[in-house]
Chains A and B, each alone.
Chain A
Amino acid sequence: MSFRVIVSIVFISLGLIFAILPNKNNKSNQPDVKELLLSVCDKSFIINSDELAKVLISKDPSYQLVDLRTEKEYSDFHLSNAINIPFDSLLNDNFIYQLDNPALKYVFYSNGTIVSAQAIILIRQLGFKNNLVLKGGLNEWFETIINPVKPNITSSGTEYNLYLSRIAAKEFFTGSKKNNNIESPIQAEYNKNASKKKKQSVQGGCS
């Protein structure tokens, strides 16, 4: 056989081999599983309620809240300026484009922490960065910011200051000033004892 026939047969057989092989998708811009594990273990993706309250009070425009609950729960109550992406339709095309802005930090929240943690792992697998999870979700938000627990008398000054800042946040978000017990525990004890100190008539002595 002449040279050109041999070359043609070689090319055609190589072409046949590649036509039969299945398509291979090398997703080179997805993060490695090991990288994902490291980024999850260092807990840098968690934001707790106090930090979120600061962000919301200062109206920081670089944060975007994402509510992962159902539409009904969202319409009953949602944090201000949160967008609603129900968790089971997270990967739909019309929702996923909303997470595309690299300049914003997206804070995922739901009622607890489980759903938002699952969402953030999925989103990070797709290559999106700048995602945060609200620790404890709305349940912890209500327990710390809306109904803060007053620290008892043996707690430190920093805990008391934290309580005061939570009271201030509560006033900002709910506008209510009732039941705000902002006396420090030491002050409360002093007032309690001070009321006992009535003027007593002098007894005994030389009368």
Chain B
Amino acid sequence: MAPLIPLSNISNEINLLIAFIIGIGFGFVLEQAGFSSSRKLAGMFYGYDITVLKVFFTAAITAMLGLFLFNYMGIIDMSIVYVNEYYIYSAIVGGVIMGAGFIIGGFCPGTSVCAAAIGKIDAMWFIGGSIIGVFIFGETFSLWENLYKATPLGPVKVSETLGLSSGIFGLIVIVMAVVMFWIGERAEKKFARQDISKEL
């Protein structure tokens, strides 16, 4: 729970227990939003169902606003929060692979576990496939090592690169989210598919 609760204040086991409870909450949210249905997930790609965009973007801007608030109240120090390092080339290649897998299988790794938990057989095959992929990647890592570590840029934030303050960049993201939701709803009407049922 660091840096919200420093690691020295609670024991490792309580940390893991809190992580477990948060994980249960995440699974609950995914399931009640309907993400265990591969029809809803593939709908994002084909345009007839934009639930994925709405749920994840709303979660992102809620978390962003919460972090601003905590930083302002002094509960969290945003300057020591870890930002992942950015490897451009490898991120693009990884994104392409992930997108291809998503549209072929109809799940992404998190939602596949969620769907397998309610008994969907195709989600279980999806998990098996991802485990085989991880194994193959691990065994052939020396072939991919240069690609994996190409073009590191370090932990960059978009607001720093553009020279904006984080508050203004947050506002831009929120406005962008609202605009994208509006465009998405127009697209939903345009690409509607009556033959694909809306039930989960």
Residues of A within 8 A of B85 (CB): none
| B56 to A: closest C-beta gap in Å | 15
- Bound-complex Cα distance A165 to B14 (A): 58
Interface size counted on chain A using CB atoms at 8 A: 18
B170, CB-defined interface residue at 8 Å: yes
- Bound-complex Cα distance A24 to B79 (A): 10
B74 touches A26 (CB 8 A): yes
B77 touches A18 (CB 8 A): no
Residues 1-19 of A at the B interface (beta carbon under 8 Å): 4, 8, 11-12, 14-16, 18-19
| B34 to A: closest C-beta gap in Å | 17
B21, CB-defined interface residue at 8 Å: no
A-B contact count (CB 8 A): 58
Residues 142-200 of B at the A interface (beta carbon under 8 Å): 165-168, 170-171, 173-175, 177-178, 181
B167 touches A21 (CB 8 A): yes
- Bound-complex Cα distance A36 to B110 (A): 48
A28, CB-defined interface residue at 8 Å: yes
Among A15, A24, A26, A29, the residue within 8 A (CB) of B170 is: A15
B171 touches A25 (CB 8 A): no
Q: A21-B167, A23-B167 are in contact. Are A15 and B74 (CB under 8 A)?
A: no
Residues of A within 8 A of B71 (CB): 24, 26
Interface of B (DSSP majority class): helix
| A144 to B: closest C-beta gap in Å | 44
B87, CB-defined interface residue at 8 Å: no
Q: A21-B72, A24-B71, A24-B72 are in contact. Are A15 and B77 (CB under 8 A)?
A: no
| A21 to B: closest C-beta gap in Å | 6
Q: Which of B68, B74, B80 has the most CB of A within 10 A?
A: B68
B78, CB-defined interface residue at 8 Å: yes
- Bound-complex Cα distance A12 to B177 (A): 10
A20, CB-defined interface residue at 8 Å: yes
- Bound-complex Cα distance A21 to B71 (A): 11
B65, CB-defined interface residue at 8 Å: yes
- Bound-complex Cα distance A4 to B178 (A): 10
B44, CB-defined interface residue at 8 Å: no
Among A4, A15, A20, A26, the residue within 8 A (CB) of B79 is: A26
* Interface set of A (CB-CB < 8 Å, partner B): 4, 8, 11-12, 14-16, 18-21, 23-29
- What are 19 A-B contacts defined by CB distance under 8 Å? A8-B181, A11-B65, A11-B174, A14-B65, A14-B174, A15-B171, A15-B173, A19-B168, A21-B167, A23-B165, A23-B166, A23-B167, A25-B79, A26-B74, A26-B76, A26-B78, A26-B79, A28-B3, A28-B77
7 tightest Cβ-Cβ pairs between the two chains A and B? A15-B174, A26-B77, A19-B171, A28-B77, A15-B171, A19-B167, A18-B68
Given contacts A18-B65, A19-B168, 16 further A-B contacts (CB under 8 A): A4-B181, A8-B181, A11-B174, A11-B178, A15-B65, A15-B170, A15-B174, A16-B171, A18-B68, A18-B167, A18-B171, A19-B167, A23-B167, A24-B71, A26-B74, A28-B80
* Interface set of B (CB-CB < 8 Å, partner A): 3, 61, 65, 68-69, 71-72, 74, 76-80, 165-168, 170-171, 173-175, 177-178, 181
